[in-house]
Amino acid sequence: MSKNVFKEIEESSKGEAFKGMCEIAHAFMKKERLDAEDEVKNFLDKNINFNNDERFGSVSQVIKNGLNWYMIDYLYEKGAVHYLVKNNQFLEFGVDDGFIEANLRYRRMIDNGWNEVDAMDECIDEAAYANGTILKACDEDRDGIGKLGYEIFNKGNKAIYYFITGTPNEEFSLKKIVKEIK
């Protein structure tokens, strides 16, 4: 891929809205992940089946065993993105939400030391894979993974509101979600 698709969106008529929502979502998820760092480490230690040696390969296998960190993080982030797109008159579902999700992966990869070209090549594929695999798993197990997934999504949707208003609510934090699931 290599070309920066986000730059193209940022230069379009909805560019400022897109860029602003990506910045808010990135700051929100960065804070939530940092706050939940200790719980996540404990969670990963207890879930020995989760590894990422192959590109996405293990995620499909882990889904069979229930929720894992990749899924929790994705569903929580997806809830936050849903809120941001829903409450922005310049953005639309089915187009902008997917690109914001990919942009968040891109920014996270950059934060983790990836170069821009490799991050751009990977982020769209990873976002598409997460959407296809995790949402499918939730749909197939609506009373199990799907029910928990929907709860995580809703907490991310509510937590971003509290983040924006400057009144964080621990009830909807990623840290609390991980504590409850592990």
Q: Are 36 and 175 a contacting pair, CB within 8 Å?
A: yes
Residue 31 half-sphere exposure, CB side, CA atoms within 13 Å?
A: 17
pLDDT tens, N- to C-terminus, the chain (182 residues): 557 889 999 999 999 999 999 999 999 999 999 999 888 877 765 544 434 444 444 445 545 556 778 888 999 999 999 999 999 999 998 889 999 999 999 999 999 899 999 999 899 888 888 888 888 888 888 888 889 999 999 999 999 999 999 998 999 999 999 888 86
DSSP state of 48: T
* 74 vs 135: CA distance, rounded Å: 10
How many structural domains does the chain have? 1
Residue with tokens 């400022």: 16
Note down the domain range covering 133.
5-181
Contacts of 31 (CB under 8 A, 6+ apart): 163
